[in-house]
Amino acid sequence: MNIALTTELRASYGFIERNINIVKRYWAWEVVWLFYSITNSLAVAFIAPGVGALNAGVDTRVLVLYLIIGTIVWRYLSVIFYWLTDVIGMERWEGTIEYTLMAPITRFTHLAGHTAFAVVYSMFHTVVILAVTAIFFEIDLSRANLLGGAIVLLVGSVSFIGFGIVAAILPLLFPEKGQQMTHVIISLLLLVSGVYYPVAVLPPALRFFATYSPATYVLEGARAALLDGAPTIALWQFLAPLIAMGALAIPFGLWLFGIAERYAKKTGKLKRNG
Amino acid sequence: MEHTIALEIQNVSKHFNPGAFNPLKRNGAKKPVLAVNDISITVQRGEIFGVLGPNGSGKSTFIRLISTLLVPDAGSVNIFGLDIERDERAVQRLINRVSVEAAFFKKLSPLENLLYGARLYGLSGADARAKIEVILKRLDLRADAINRPMEEMSRGMQQKVAIARALLTAPILLLLDEPTTGLDPRSKREVQTLVRELRDTHDATIVLTTHDMLEADGLCDRIAIIDAGRIVALDTPVELKKLVAANGHVPTSDSSAFYRTLGHEPTLEEVFLQLTGKKLVEDK
């Protein structure tokens, strides 16, 4: 194998290995975070029987699955987003930012390793939440196209990665408050993407933003596959915009990250603790 | 690599504009700071080159410029003939840095931190582990400490691991930014011995910033005295001390007579005071 490629792959693996070690060392925090995520998802899912108790005409079994898909998909995407936006924040917190950013590797290598870990971590996190949720609710997946749902989720995560890379620029440019600013982006995506309700109920201005959120297509695609049992070929209408968004957002994010890094080097913002 | 010049800095300046273009700062920008002001230096291969100055004099900015962490406003920095901006990746392969604060993932162990550092520079896991074992043994790091979190280690131990991390990548230009600040006398001596050994056995060129006059005097082949971002003197420790004699009271040719008047050989502290009118380390 080409030496340069081997070097980059080893460096990329270095980020995966480092993040695994960090998760192992902060295991107590991981337990707390997982507990919080599970209770949060359960609280959302219990809205369905709650609505059923208020209005006897509602099909609570469908509503439960609708909300569970929403909360599970959102957990999966948002965990990837948070890991990506923390790529700079965690280095600032630990004080290693200068050391990592003066290493002889491309930013693509850096972000590829970090992202690969984020996707696997998020999958594990999501499976645990799903397993616990399944204990509390009778989930009927007899009509579901599980493979189609998984494809939508995987393709969706790729386009979400692009958004995460763009958002990761904020902590680079604003050492003190940049990390908090990323919460604005994720909360806006939560609002417009139809996580717990159909996008159709939103006012026109918000529906406009929903068109540009990858989460909208992931959620609609996942619901079509799991709730309606839509065949994989029929999911193309959701996959196509996701692929297009990923193809644009990832190179754009990397390009923008490069510009932001250069700006940070000019203004002296690549320092620990801001 | 055939170059005899390890580091060539020509007319480099760097200023910072805190708060500029930041919409979150309601009070607007603070006054711009000229951290490095038209500095030119040439460091020969194999040299231990010291940069001596008080806190805030521009030492760390100087090191961060060479480390590719800052872009100069003006001038150029070349490392073994490579430009730090144009050939950034190639330059990064040649250098490594030990900073005043040991920058580690605090919950991770020395082994985990070192493995991460080694992989960033393209080492395989097996090669890295073998090198880590040798280097940590040389640094006299206790075997039981290698798997404990860094946060449980003393500052001196952490700094040894920081040096080990730099050595892992076999840099031919090693940047040491106040590596002994805050260390106890024993740890300080150990680090200083290691710096000498590095130069002698690893063919490394070393740029060392410090505000410890004795350290600069004992370790460095040449020293640049820096104040408010400018180099106010650059020479060997012996020649710098002669400046006190020349500028202060007696001609250079009769420096020994001046030493007798002074009662002792001038220190670099006195050199600094003579050149800048300031003390190197503020009184507490």
| Distance (Å, whole) CA B8 – CA A272 | 27
pLDDT in tens, A132-167: 999 999 888 888 999 999 999 999 999 889 999 999
Per-residue confidence band for B22, with pLDDT thresholds at 50, 70 and 90: low
Average pLDDT in chain B: 85
Ranges of each domain in chain A: 3-267
What residue in B sits closest to A173 (Cα-Cα)?
Answer: B22
Contacts with B, A 144-183, CB within 8 Å: 174, 176-177
Considering chain A, what percentage of its residues have pLDDT values greater than 70? 99
The dihedral region occupied by B182, where left means phi > 0, alpha psi between -120 and 50, and beta the remainder, is: left
Separation in Å, CA B245 to CA B51, B260, B262, B269? 22, 11, 9, 14
pLDDT surpassing 80 at residue B21: no
pTM of the model: 0.89
CA atoms within 13 A of residue A4's CA, in its CB half-sphere: 5
- CB of B126 within 8 Å of any CB in chain A? no
Name the minimum distance, in Å, from the CA of B163 to any CA of chain A: 13
pLDDT for residue A184: 94
Q: Which of B103, B108, B118 sits opposite A272 (nearest CB)?
A: B103
What is the sign of the dihedral through the CA atoms of A166, A167, A168 and A169? positive
What residue in A sits closest to B18 (Cα-Cα)?
Answer: A267
For the ranges A33-47, A48-62, B20-34, B139-153, the lowest mean pLDDT is seen at: B20-34
Measured CA angle at A38 (ends A35, A39), to 5 deg: 85
- SS3 readout for chain B: CCCCEEEEEEEEEEEECCCCCCCCCCCCCCCCEEEEEEEEEEEECCCEEEEECCCCCCHHHHHHHHCCCCCCCEEEEEECCEECCCCHHHHHHHEEEECCCCCCCCCCCHHHHHHHHHHHCCCCHHHHHHHHHHHHHHCCCCHHHCCCCHHHCCHHHHHHHHHHHHHHCCCCEEEEECCCCCCCHHHHHHHHHHHHHHHHHHCCEEEEEECCHHHHHHHCCEEEEEECCEEEEEECHHHHHHHHHHHHHCCHHHHHHHHHHHCCCCCHHHHHHHHHCCCCCCCC
CA atoms within 13 A of residue A41's CA, in its CB half-sphere: 30
* Residue A65 backbone dihedrals phi, psi, to 5 degrees: -65, -40
| Distance (Å, whole) CA B284 – CA B275 | 22
Per-residue confidence band for B75, with pLDDT thresholds at 50, 70 and 90: very high
In the DSSP assignment, the letter for residue A198 is: -
Q: What is the token pair recorded at A73? A: 């998909």
| Distance (Å, whole) CA B6 – CA B46 | 8
Residues of chain B with CATH 3.40.50.300: 5-235
Measured CA angle at A269 (ends B106, B228), to 5 deg: 105
Chain B residues within an 8 Å CB radius of A91: none
pLDDT in tens, A68-109: 999 999 999 999 999 999 999 999 889 899 999 999 999 999
Residue B50 pairs in a beta bridge with: B208, B223
Chain B residues within an 8 Å CB radius of A176: 24
pLDDT for residue B251: 44
pLDDT for residue B248: 53
pLDDT for residue A106: 94
| Distance (Å, whole) CA B162 – CA B176 | 10
pLDDT surpassing 80 at residue B143: no
- CB of B227 within 8 A of CB of B239? no
In the DSSP assignment, the letter for residue A203 is: -
pLDDT for residue A150: 94
Q: Which of B71, B89, B95 sits opposite A266 (nearest CB)?
A: B71
For the ranges A55-64, A92-101, B68-77, the lowest mean pLDDT is seen at: A55-64
Q: Report CA dihedral (A233, A234, A236, A241) to the nearest 10 degrees.
A: -170
pLDDT in tens, A109-124: 999 999 999 999 999 9
- CB of A10 within 8 Å of any CB in chain B? yes
Please judge whether A13 and B119 are an interchain contact, meaning their C-beta atoms are less than 8 angstroms apart.
yes
What residue in B sits closest to A18 (Cα-Cα)?
Answer: B116
Please judge whether A98 and B117 are an interchain contact, meaning their C-beta atoms are less than 8 angstroms apart.
no
Task: Provide CB contacts within 8 A for B221, sequence distance 6+.
Answer: B47, B48, B49, B236
Tokens 């499976």 label which residue? A127
Chain B residues within an 8 Å CB radius of A25: 107-108, 149
Q: If we measure between CA atoms, which residue out of B142, B198, B125, B141 comes closest to residue B166?
A: B198
Name the minimum distance, in Å, from the CA of B83 to any CA of chain A: 14
Please judge whether A103 and B99 are an interchain contact, meaning their C-beta atoms are less than 8 angstroms apart.
no
pLDDT in tens, B37-59: 999 999 999 999 999 988 888 99
Considering chain B, what percentage of its residues have pLDDT values greater than 70? 86
pLDDT for residue A12: 96
pLDDT surpassing 70 at residue B259: no
Contact pairs from chain A to chain B, CB under 8 Å: 101
Name the minimum distance, in Å, from the CA of A113 to any CA of chain B: 11
Q: If we measure between CA atoms, which residue out of A172, A167, A169, A192 comes closest to residue A182?
A: A167
For the ranges A199-213, B174-188, B242-256, the lowest mean pLDDT is seen at: B242-256
pLDDT in tens, B164-177: 899 899 899 999 99
Q: What is the token pair recorded at B253? A: 């040719």
pLDDT surpassing 50 at residue A206: yes
Q: Which fold has domain B5-235?
A: Rossmann fold (3.40.50)
Q: Which of B89, B90, B106 sits opposite A94 (nearest CB)?
A: B106
Q: If we measure between CA atoms, which residue out of B184, B155, B178, B241 comes closest to residue B195?
A: B178
- CB of B24 within 8 Å of any CB in chain A? yes
pLDDT surpassing 60 at residue B24: no
What residue in B sits closest to A8 (Cα-Cα)?
Answer: B122
The B5-16 sheet, strands edge to edge: B33-44, B5-16, B74-79, B82-83
Tokens 């990837």 label which residue? A80
Q: Report CA dihedral (A21, A26, A32, A33) to the nearest 10 degrees.
A: -50
| Distance (Å, whole) CA B10 – CA A32 | 54
- CB of B147 within 8 Å of any CB in chain A? no
pLDDT surpassing 60 at residue A220: yes
